[in-house]
């Protein structure tokens, strides 16, 4: 079973803050982390490999620093890391990102399964997984909360829905996106850390993957951001005062419209 896991490096949410005075995102001290959903995708891939054999390749599109998350995935059991990195990718939306990832996947050779996180926490779009499947011409299922049975030819799995879950079966090749309920990611072992340290990350440019310059970066992006601004302020902290009884009474009066 050859599995490709797409992982993205994202800024840690607790560090991303809009400076109210300057209206800019505070950049200082912003740590980069592996997108949390992608950790679950890596873990599931490693578990499937342990069960069925084969190889796990982790793939990321991003700046050179994104090698860090690829190494982190290797320390957690992935075998190979591939980074597609090129200034020409700047401004890519989800269409251009899925196109670029698809080019790289094709370049890497044959695979049975592709795993993605449900969404990346910087943009929260949840569009790259399905987009990648379409670009590769393979079926996809999103929001997998459990793989019930993994066989040589077919998977049986649960997809989280708003009102419950669906049980689905599908053969390979297949792309899945996963939610965090699917597993508990392991912490890297000492051996894993050593392996990651030594690992050579393969770095590919737009040209290396044979990407059409008109389909990558800003040019390949049907959507364009035209404005960014801070969210409307929520107003001041408003603590009620008085005894608990009085506060509860005030609160119920304030909430009258909802009762």
Residues in 49-108 that interact with ligand AMP by CB under 6 A = 59-62, 94, 97, 101
Pick from 120, 138, 196, 206 the residue near ligand AMP by CB under 6 A. Answer: 120
Return d(Cα 259, Cα 255) in angstroms, integer: 7
- Contact 12/65 with Cβ under 8 angstroms? no
**Among all chains, which residue has been given the structure tokens 């409307």?**
232
Closest CA to 209 of 98, 126, 72, 73: 98
The helix/strand/coil state of 95 is: helix
Return d(Cα 46, Cα 40) in angstroms, integer: 10
The helix/strand/coil state of 161 is: strand
Q: Choose the one of other proteins, ligand AMP, none that binds residue 61, judging by a C-beta under 5 to 8 angstroms depending on kind.
A: ligand AMP
Q: Choose the one of other proteins, ligand AMP, none that binds residue 81, judging by a C-beta under 5 to 8 angstroms depending on kind.
A: none
The residues near 200 (Cβ < 8 Å, ≥ 6 apart) are none
Residues 3-22 that bind other proteins (CB under 8 A): 11, 13-14, 16-18, 22
Please identify, using beta-carbon distances, which residue of 7 and 174 lies nearer to ligand AMP. Answer: 7
Return d(Cα 67, Cα 227) in angstroms, integer: 30
Rule CB under 6 A: say whether 6 interacts with ligand AMP. Answer: yes
Rule CB under 8 A: say whether 187 interacts with other proteins. Answer: no
The residues near 166 (Cβ < 8 Å, ≥ 6 apart) are 158, 159
Rule CB under 8 A: say whether 205 interacts with other proteins. Answer: no
Please identify, using beta-carbon distances, which residue of 123 and 167 lies nearer to ligand AMP. Answer: 123
Rule CB under 8 A: say whether 231 interacts with other proteins. Answer: yes
Q: Choose the one of other proteins, ligand AMP, none that binds residue 190, judging by a C-beta under 5 to 8 angstroms depending on kind.
A: none
CB-based closest residue to ligand AMP: 117
Pick from 31, 124, 190, 198 the residue near other proteins by CB under 8 A. Answer: 124
The helix/strand/coil state of 57 is: strand
For 71-95, letters b (16+ CB in 10 Å) and e give bbbbbbbbbbbbbbbbebbeebbbb
Q: Choose the one of ligand AMP, other proteins, none that binds residue 225, judging by a C-beta under 5 to 8 angstroms depending on kind.
A: other proteins
Torsion angle of alpha carbons 94, 99, 101, 104, nearest 10°? -170
Pick from 25, 126, 134, 170 the residue near ligand AMP by CB under 6 A. Answer: 126
Here the tokens at position 147 are: 């793989």
Rule CB under 6 A: say whether 217 interacts with ligand AMP. Answer: no
Shortest approach of other proteins to residue 164 CB, angstroms?
A: 4
Rule CB under 8 A: say whether 239 interacts with other proteins. Answer: yes
Q: Choose the one of ligand AMP, other proteins, none that binds residue 54, judging by a C-beta under 5 to 8 angstroms depending on kind.
A: none
Residues 128-157 that bind ligand AMP (CB under 6 A): 128-129
**Residues near ligand AMP, by CB under 6 A:** 6-8, 35, 37-38, 41, 59-62, 94, 97, 101, 116-117, 119-120, 123-129
């Amino acid at each position: 079973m050859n599995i490709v896991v797409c992982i993205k490096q994202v800024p840690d949410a607790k560090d991303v803050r809009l400076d109210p005075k300057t209206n800019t995102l505070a950049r200082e001290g912003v740590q980069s982390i592996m997108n949390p959903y992608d950790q679950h995708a890596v873990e599931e891939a490693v578990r499937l490999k342990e069960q069925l054999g084969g190889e796990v390749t982790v793939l990321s599109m991003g700046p050179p620093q994104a090698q860090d998350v690829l190494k982190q995935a290797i320390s957690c059991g992935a075998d190979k890391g591939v980074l597609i990195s090129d200034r020409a990718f700047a401004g890519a939306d989800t269409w251009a990102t899925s196109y670029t990832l698809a080019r790289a996947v094709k370049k890497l050779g044959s695979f049975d399964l592709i795993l993605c996180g449900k969404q990346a926490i910087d943009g929260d779009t949840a569009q790259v997984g399905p987009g990648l499947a379409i670009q590769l011409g393979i079926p996809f299922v999103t929001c997998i909360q459990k793989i019930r049975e993994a066989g040589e030819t077919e998977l049986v799995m649960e997809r989280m829905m708003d009102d419950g879950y669906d049980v689905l079966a599908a053969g390979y090749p297949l792309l899945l996106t996963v939610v965090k309920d699917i597993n508990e990611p392991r912490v890297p072992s000492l051996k894993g850390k050593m392996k990651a340290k030594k690992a050579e990350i393969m770095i590919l440019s737009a040209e290396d993957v044979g990407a059409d310059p008109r389909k990558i970066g800003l040019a390949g992006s049907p959507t364009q951001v035209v404005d960014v601004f801070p969210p409307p302020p929520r107003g001041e902290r408003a603590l009620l005062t008085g005894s608990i009884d009085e506060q509860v009474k005030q609160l119920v009066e304030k909430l009258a419209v909802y009762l």
